[in-house]
Every structure is written in C-alpha cells, then in structure tokens.
Copies of this chain bind each other. A is one copy, B any other.
Amino acid sequence: MGLENSVLKTAPIDPTTLPGRRVRVAVDQPMILDSGATLGPITIAYQTYGQLNADKTNAILVCHALTGDQFVADRHPITGKAGWWSMVVGAGKPLDTNRYFIICANVLGGCMGSTGPMEVRSDTGRPFGLDFPVITVGDMVRAQKLLIDQLGIEQLFAVIGGSMGGMQALQWASAYPERVYAALPIAASARHSAQNIAFHEVGRQAIMADPDWQGGAYFDGAAKPTRGLAVARMAAHITYLSEPALHRKFGRQLQDRTALSFGFDADFQVESYLRHQGITFVDRFDANSYLYITRAMDYFDLAKDHGGVLAEAFRATKVRFCVMSFTSDWLFPTSESRDLVHALNAVAANVSFVEIESDKGHDAFLLDEPEFHRVLRGFLDGAASHRGLPTSGMD
C-alpha cells in the first residue's frame, strides 16, 4: 500500500556516464557565488540542436525547470522518453532547429552532468553532498554565461524557459542585458511566493525525514532517500496541475477495480497516477540536487537584488520581452507575470504579454498547447525579423 520497496531500490545515477556535451569552466579561477563562496572548476553538461550560423547570432538558450535537464529534444538517457520540450524544439517547430541553434545546459546544482552535490570532490575523493555551496538562480546563470563565452557567442538571440527556466531568462536579461536580444519568461515570476516556498519546504522536509538521507551523505551504501524524494515529488506534482485538469483526467474514477477496496491501496486513478510520478522520479533525480535547486528558486527575488524595486532590475534595457502565463496556473499565476510586465512598462521596455487560456495548470508550458506554440513562433519570428535572421515565412 506504500511506495513499493523493490521499485524504489534503483541503481544510482552516474552523471559522468551520461551522453552529451560537456565543458569545464571556471578552471583558472573559481566562480564567486552569490553566497560569497567560490566554486571551480565547474563542469557544464549541455545539448545543442541545429547549427550556429557564421555570425553566431542565431543561438537560443533554453533554460530548464526544477526537475528538467539538458535533454530538451533527445530521448532521455535514463527514462527513454522523448525530450521534455520535443513539441517545441525541432525542425519546423516553434524553436525551429532549421534556423536556430538551440543550447540547453543542465543547471549548476543539477544531477545530469553539471557540477552539483553528486560531483566527486577532487580534494576528498567523495561527493560534495551537503558540503556543496548553496547556489542561486544568479549562480546558475553565471555558470551558463561561462558556457556561452566558451561557445564564442557574443549575444544570444533569445533566452527562454518555463517556471525556474523563466526565472533564469529574467536573470539573464537583468544581469547581462547586452548578451540577450530577447527574453521569454514563461509561467514564471520575478520572486518566489510564500506559498511556493511553503510547498518546497514540505518537499525538503520529506527528503530530510527519510533516514536514508543520512544528512545528505548517502553515497556509500545502497540506500538512498528514495521514499522521501518520491513523497516530495508527489506533493510538487499536484501543484503543477490544476483542479479542473485533475477532475477531467481522473475525477473519482477507480483504478483497476469496480468497487472501493476499503483499504489503503490506490483505489482511485489519481492516487495510482501520483504514486507512479513519485516512483519514476527517483530513477532520474538526486535528492540533494532537489534540495539545492528548490532552495535556489526560493531565494529568487529580483526586486530585492535591486533595492526592492523590480523595475530597477531592467532599467534602460534593450531586451525584447515576451511574458507568457496560463489561466489555470496557480503556482505561478498570471498576476505574477502581470507584476513583471508592470515593472517592464515602468522602464519603457519592449514587452509583449500573453495570457494563454488553458485548464492544464502550471505544466501547460510542457504540454500540447497550440495557442502557446503559435505565440512562441510569432514572437520569435518578429524578433528574428528585427535581428535580420530568417523567419518561418522564409522557409
């Protein structure tokens, strides 16, 4: 009736064996983090799609969300599933690989090859675990910039992402405005809300309550805090959906039975679905990474970094913004996108704002939402035209 023991005993992820590209950055001198700590050298694992043009002006950086990764449009090396944005990134798709050079890097603190708490320290020969410094969205973007520098790209045509990916897009536009032509924060916010911090804290406590977590030093034995991580994922997963979507998808339908069991098995389809989400997540994600990345999101507050005035984060910006939200997203509601747009308006920024009608909740940015994809394509076409890049009409 609980999450099955056998299912949760998984082989550990070994990020060093994952396919894909890797660079080492901050090699000569370590990166200084927002906390004041230093970190380096840093490995950044990334994927690219399409071809960089001769002027290096057609690069789009895709920033992934909390549990995303660099495998945007590739089959996932652990789960075997299609890439998380393969509906959006590809030949003829809104992020058209016939015209754009798409880059996506696993975030700093992640567990898919970039430096994070799973990385083996050169000095101790053991993984960082909780000795890894607490990082911020600013630090993630700082590391991405080192990658973009190494690729010799002076200015990204666009930085785009949903959820935490949208936070990174905003951070890029704010910290490196001259390096970004357009920024597309989707289902995002300029600061993490109290309710969202609260949900993250539940997830972290679920992980830390698992005795197999061992204070973050679970690398020696076979036991990993998979139960805690699964519970954290289950709680988070509810927040990615909407009540109407859950009702439409599952309602009160029973799972593989015609009557209530009067027990604690998964009677309802929604329970079974949620357990599945928890159980499969632990195969591809590291519990410590979950702690660090949720913390980075909680710390995100662009206004606070600019004297409490959000507009100051974007003063005199030339970046073109496309802000998007979804009507049924209660994790990053439209009101937060609107606050961002007001701040951008206050500094006369070039900004489009579209609220997409959808009942799919926060996850809508990952799903088949034709209107969303049309807006993406349209905005990128307009920006490409201004930037002197081919547009989809020219194909």
Give residues in A with beta carbon < 8 Å to B: 1-3, 34-35, 37, 130, 133-134, 191-195, 197-199, 201-202, 204-206, 208-211, 227-228, 230-231, 234-235, 238, 241, 243, 246-247, 249-252, 260, 262-264, 266-268, 270-271, 274-275, 278, 291, 295, 298-299, 301, 304, 330, 333
Contacts and interface: CB of A to CB of B under 8 A. Distances in A.
A201 B262 contact: no
Closest 10 CB pairs of A and B: A2-B208, A209-B227, A35-B262, A134-B262, A194-B246, A201-B271, A195-B243, A194-B270, A202-B234, A194-B250
19 contacts: A1-B208, A3-B205, A3-B208, A34-B262, A134-B264, A194-B250, A194-B268, A195-B241, A197-B268, A198-B234, A201-B275, A202-B235, A202-B238, A204-B264, A206-B231, A209-B230, A243-B330, A252-B304, A267-B298
Given A192-B252, A199-B235, 10 more contacts: A35-B262, A195-B243, A198-B271, A198-B274, A201-B266, A204-B264, A205-B234, A231-B231, A243-B330, A243-B333
Contacts of A193: 243, 246-247
Interface of A is mostly: helix
Contact of A238 (B199, B204, B208): B199
A114 to B, nearest CB: 19
A301 B333 CA distance: 30
Nearest to A248: B194
Nearest to A36: B262
Contacts of A206: 206, 209, 231
Given A133-B262, A134-B263, A238 B195 contact: yes
Contact of A211 (B205, B211, B264): B211
A209 B235 CA distance: 14
A81 to B, nearest CB: 22
Contacts of A202: 231, 234-235, 238, 274
A205 B260 contact: no
Contact of A197 (B34, B204, B271, B298): B271
A205 B278 contact: yes
Nearest to A335: B243
Contacts of A130: 264
A225 B298 CA distance: 28
Q: Which one of A208, A235, A267, A268 has the highest number of Cβ atoms from chain B below 10 Å of its Cβ?
A: A235
The winner among A231, A250, A330 for most chain B CB atoms within 10 A is: A231
Contacts of A191: 252
A5 to B, nearest CB: 10
Contacts of A299: 260
A333 to B, nearest CB: 8
B3 A209 contact: yes
A195 B246 contact: yes
Contacts of A274: 198, 201-202
Given A268-B298, A274-B201, A252 B209 contact: no
Given A202-B274, A208-B3, A209-B210, A194 B252 contact: yes
Contacts of A260: 299
A253 to B, nearest CB: 9
Q: Which of A191, A205, A275 has the most B CB atoms < 10 Å from its CB?
A: A205
B209 A246 contact: no
Nearest to A301: B252
B205 A275 contact: yes
Contacts of A231: 202, 205-206, 209, 231
Contacts of A251: 194
Nearest to A233: B202
Contacts of A194: 243, 246-247, 249-252, 268, 270
